Structure 1
Amino acid sequence: MMRFAGKSVLVTGAGSGIGRATALAFAREGAGVVCADVAQGDVTAAMIEDMGGRAVACAMDAGEDADVARAIALAVDTFGEIDVVHANAGISGGIAGLFDTTAEDWSEILRVNLIGPFLAIRHAAPIMAAAGGGAIVCTASVAGLRSGAGGAAYSASKAGVINLVQTAAQQLSGSGVRVNAVCPGLVETGMTAMVYDHARQSGKEARIGRLNPLRRGGEPEEVAAVVLFLSSAEASYVNGQALAVDGGLSSSHPVTRQDYGRTAI
């Protein structure tokens, strides 16, 4: 399949994990890809070029207005247009509870995870609309759907992303620009490396993902496949939605309860 032949795509957070898997997948299907990240975006771009694809790297901070504008301009200058943006860059901020997170921590997590996708939409959507349309996919999380799948600040930021894509889809009415979110569950990436490493070192790898009906963690490529679907003409009537890719976890979100002032058991 070459669903993105001749298309121009920007992926933020392309240096590793879901972002890298998505950038590679877009390239395999013919897209020219801007691989944007604070680090390692050039490695992903080199991987694409090595497999015969078209890519350019862009060092950027997803939460900085000027950096996002520059990355989108690079896509237009390099490939002639901007057809798709995967606003994927994010940080976890750890698993601290509501009363263990500082205002500074909250500010930084919201800056990257929520302001970042806002900036991507703000700068890319007008260009797409002027060209007749496009697709923007933001990486949210099952943690944004309800409590129990992440730290307090991270969960709040991802809930904000889900509302952001709904709001953006409405405010872009008639433009031809679709805005959706993908909500990964537990996926092995740099962000979750500590979870996976601890499980393997303690002989509990089989327990990874045990709370979802598929009884396993996900792979970045499984999320990338959904991002490509939402970005493609196959999803031409999908707009303003948050699609969970979580093995069924969010169908119930089972979680250990934590009483105020006590440790979860």
Structure 2
Amino acid sequence: MGRLSGKSVIITGAGSGIGRAASLLFAAEGAKLVIADKFDTAEETARQVREAGGTVVALVGDAGEEAFVAGLVDRAVAEHGVLDAIWANAGISGGAVPREDQDAAHWAEVLRVNLIGPFLAVKHASRVMVPRGQGSIVMTASVAGIRSGAGGLPYSASKAGVINLAQTAANDLYGTGVRVNAICPGLIETGMTKPIFDGARARGNEAKIGQLNPLTRYGVPSEIAHAGLFLASDDASYVNGQAIAVDGGLSSSHPVVRRR
């Protein structure tokens, strides 16, 4: 019996990176999945899940659009009868746009995907979870939302919003049995962080990637997926309204000069 045996789960941003790792892990733990991505890479993830013996439906769409998110929830219920958990993982970095070149439209797009998208997951997942008196909503935030130094202005602000959303939504759902939590990844090698890794490797500095955290290394998507598995499962039945950093200890310290 897996930790998600028989549970119906939605994962957005499932076409690569953390979302793909989570899809494979959750399926291996017995979840029946509806996965989504803005790109058709979601189907490649679904293929891998099926080859491993999992149950999955893949959809292509924008996790920041309300009609699509509502449809994801409806599809999960239609396919599997219930919705036990949703991981609002889809996000964008906003790119390395200098402050002076950022405009309201740029900010609005980052906030739409990174913050409004998770809100829509809360809104539509809760409408089917609340009547059952149970459910887990997981959202991907970032250490960039905890303090400065891990992302650009709009990205960091959007992820700070996700952290606050986890807290406020958990309390908005007071007494319903529905839990809401966020994960704050540190430096993880994904498509979003590819420019960082490519640049370091081109300079011959790969060994220095992640050196600022106490584990002195970067993370991989499966390490975030395991944190999500915990929050989605009954193992986290008393964890609610939290933003859990999975960052090798990066966010535990103020900047210091290392003496060794």
Give the TM-score normalised by structure 2: 0.96
Q: Counterpart amino acid of 1:183?
A: C
Q: 1:62 to 1:186 in 2, by over 3 A?
A: same
Alignment of 1:126-145 (within 5 A): 126-145=127-146
Q: CA deviation at 1:101?
A: 1.7
Q: What does the per-residue CA deviation read over 1:70-109, in whole Å, with 9 as the maximum and x for residues that have no partner?
A: 1111111111111000000000012335444221110100
- Give the conservation status (yes or no) of the 8 Å contact 1:68–1:120: yes
- Give the conservation status (yes or no) of the 8 Å contact 1:60–1:71: no
Aligned: 1:58 with 2:59: yes
- Give the conservation status (yes or no) of the 8 Å contact 1:98–1:153: no
- Give the conservation status (yes or no) of the 8 Å contact 1:143–1:154: yes
Q: Counterpart amino acid of 2:49?
A: I
Q: State the partner residue of 1:263.
A: none
Q: Distance in 1 between matches of 2:132 and 2:143?
A: 33
Q: What does the per-residue CA deviation read over 1:196-231, in whole Å, with 9 as the maximum and x for residues that have no partner?
A: 111112111001001111111000000000011111
Alignment of 1:10-29 (within 5 A): 10-29=10-29
Q: 1:123 to 1:195 in 2, by over 3 A?
A: same
Q: 1:143 to 1:125 in 2, by over 3 A?
A: same
Q: Report the more deviating stretch, 88-97 or 71-80.
A: 88-97
SS of the equivalent of 1:183 reads: strand
Q: Which runs of 5+ in 2 are unaligned?
A: none
- Give the conservation status (yes or no) of the 8 Å contact 1:5–1:30: yes
Alignment of 1:32-181 (within 5 A): 32-39=32-39, 40-181=41-182
Q: Taking every aligned residue pair, what percent have the same amino acid on both sides? A: 61
Q: What does the per-residue CA deviation read over 1:6-31, in whole Å, with 9 as the maximum and x for residues that have no partner?
A: 10000000000001111111100000
Q: Distance in 2 between matches of 1:202 and 1:255?
A: 24
Q: 1:253 to 1:94 in 2, by over 3 A?
A: farther
Q: Counterpart amino acid of 1:204?
A: N
Q: Distance in 2 between matches of 1:116 and 1:96?
A: 22
Q: Counterpart amino acid of 1:31?
A: A
Give the TM-score normalised by structure 1: 0.94
Q: 1:255 to 1:22 in 2, by over 3 A?
A: farther
Q: CA deviation at 1:60?
A: 1.4
- Give the conservation status (yes or no) of the 8 Å contact 1:84–1:136: yes
Q: State the partner residue of 2:192.
A: 191
- Give the conservation status (yes or no) of the 8 Å contact 1:140–1:184: yes
SS of the equivalent of 2:179 reads: strand
- Give the conservation status (yes or no) of the 8 Å contact 1:144–1:158: yes
Q: State the partner residue of 1:245.
A: 246
Q: Counterpart amino acid of 2:201?
A: R
Alignment of 1:205-224 (within 5 A): 205-224=206-225
Q: Counterpart amino acid of 1:29?
A: E
Q: 1:85 to 1:253 in 2, by over 3 A?
A: farther
Query: What RMSD over aligned residues (CA atoms) do the two structures have, in Å?
Result: 1.4
Q: Which runs of 5+ in 1 are unaligned?
A: 257-265
Q: What does the per-residue CA deviation read over 1:101-151, in whole Å, with 9 as the maximum and x for residues that have no partner?
A: 221110100000000000000000120111221000000000000111100
Q: Distance in 1 between matches of 2:48 and 2:132?
A: 30
Q: Distance in 1 between matches of 2:13 and 2:185?
A: 15
SS of the equivalent of 1:146 reads: coil
Q: Distance in 2 between matches of 1:24 and 1:69?
A: 24
Q: Distance in 2 between matches of 1:29 and 1:253?
A: 37
- Give the conservation status (yes or no) of the 8 Å contact 1:170–1:240: yes
SS of the equivalent of 1:137 reads: strand
